[in-house]
Amino acid sequence: MTNLLDKFSLVVEYSKTEVFHFSRSHGPFNPPPLDLSSLGRLILSPKNSWKYLGFIFDRKLTFHQHVNFYSNKALSLVKCMKLLGNFSCGITPLQKCLLYRCCILPIILYGFQLWFYNHTSLSYLLKTLGKMQRRAAIWILGVFKTSLIEGIEAIAGLISIKLYLQKLGGKSQLCMMFLPMNHIIRTLMDFSFGSPYNQHSFSLNSFTKRQRVNIKGHLVDSNNRFHEIFPSFSPTHSELSLGLRIIDIFLDRFSFNLCNKEKNDKLCLYQLDSVVIELSLSLSITIVTMDASIKNNIATSILHMHISKQPLIKTLHHAAFITSLEAELFAIRYGINQASSKENVFKIIVITNSIYIAKKIFNPSFHPLQIQAVAILEELHQFFSRDSNNSIVFWKCPSCLN
């Protein structure tokens, strides 16, 4: 090692050199010292812990010393904050709770991603942090030391340390999803979350299934979490860029026809029937009707598509734990996809009872249904670009008229 460093004109300061060993042994581990007497230096004894950037590592990576250090530091801070209550007026419990959340929690949870992950022993760590939060809750409320921790946490407005860590861990995992594709963390994950050409040599894909089962850590939890995520918006999509949006390029190609509130339902029904009968004679016009409903947390969407009075498609979809708006938007997306793929179709008429969700497709602002809306906009963009006469019309048909 010394010869290699000498080639790069680097000098090792042995007075600042430390030796540290990691071990998987369940029993006592006493590594031998490193003898540097041949170099005219001292004998280095292995350290029991190693501190780097504020993280305290022990030989078995239990991080007990790390949590103990920051827990004691937070306890000292809580004791010092008791002096704030000795002023003439003191501070209210609400202000104490705010101080605890802003000044103490960030200290004790520093680097929690190192030790808080699935399939690891957390009993000692959570017990230590729970004692600290108990002392803080007693200070916030000024109650007796014999009070139950669950009760004083609820009254003080504090959630348990475990739940708070789960919340922070989930947010941290989601943040990894928005890292650039060439980021070192993304290159350590599956191919499905990054380019396969930029994968690290020690990425999760380089391990066998048996090896991946034994791997634990925050990175593995984040990788597993990605399989459960369906992004709800895409802020950088081209269909939402100013000047490239459909509302900027094809503003005259889509329209909405609403039922006039001054007219009764029979007149609205008569007007819609007249338009459908007149347009259904053409071979270049597709009529798509749809509806959606929810019963027992099961959403059902139905779609019919006709060309020249001939039924082409009839579909029925079921989905659990989604809203009726999501089911309606999916039906619109499927109908536009099928209608725009037909040859010699120049006009699409969509009849729906939710004109609100149809207008949401062309809304460029962020909303939970944006991913579905972007997919529909891509279909319409291709449909409008195919011919200058292509267009789409959305008709509102209230459910009471169906």
Q: What share of the chain is helix, strand, coil (3-state, %, to 5)?
A: 50, 15, 35
Closest to 97 (Cα-Cα) out of 38, 176, 158: 158
- pLDDT at residue 259, rounded to an integer: 65
- pLDDT at residue 66, rounded to an integer: 92
- pLDDT at residue 197, rounded to an integer: 52
Is the pLDDT assigned to residue 10 strictly greater than 60?
yes
Which range, 6-20, 221-235, 364-378, is most confident? 364-378
Is the pLDDT assigned to residue 401 strictly greater than 60?
no
CA distance 348 to 358: 13
247, burial (CB in 10 Å: exposed 0-12, middle 13-18, buried 19+): exposed
Count other Cβ atoms within 10 Å, centred on residue 124: 13
How close are the terminal C-alpha atoms of the chain, in Å?
A: 82
The dihedrals phi and psi of 305, each to the nearest 5 degrees, come to -130, 130
* pLDDT per position as a tens digit, 346-376: 889 888 888 888 888 888 887 778 888 888 9
* pLDDT per position as a tens digit, 380-395: 999 999 888 899 989 8
Amino acid sitting at position 16: K
- DSSP codes, 116-131: --TTS--HHHHHHHHH
Cβ neighbors of 60 (< 8 A, separation 6 or more) are 22, 23, 24
Is the pLDDT assigned to residue 69 strictly greater than 90?
yes
Closest to 129 (Cα-Cα) out of 97, 79, 164, 94: 164
76: Cα separation from own chain's centroid = 36
* pLDDT per position as a tens digit, 157-182: 898 899 999 899 888 887 877 777 77
- DSSP codes, 168-187: HHHHHHHHHHTS-TTSHHHH
- pLDDT at residue 235, rounded to an integer: 64
Task: Give, in order, the Cα–Cα distances in Å from 92 to each of 87, 103, 150, 261.
Answer: 12, 16, 21, 55
* Polymer length in residues for the chain: 402
Closest to 162 (Cα-Cα) out of 118, 129, 137: 129
* pLDDT per position as a tens digit, 133-154: 998 899 888 888 888 888 888 8
* pLDDT per position as a tens digit, 16-29: 777 888 887 777 77
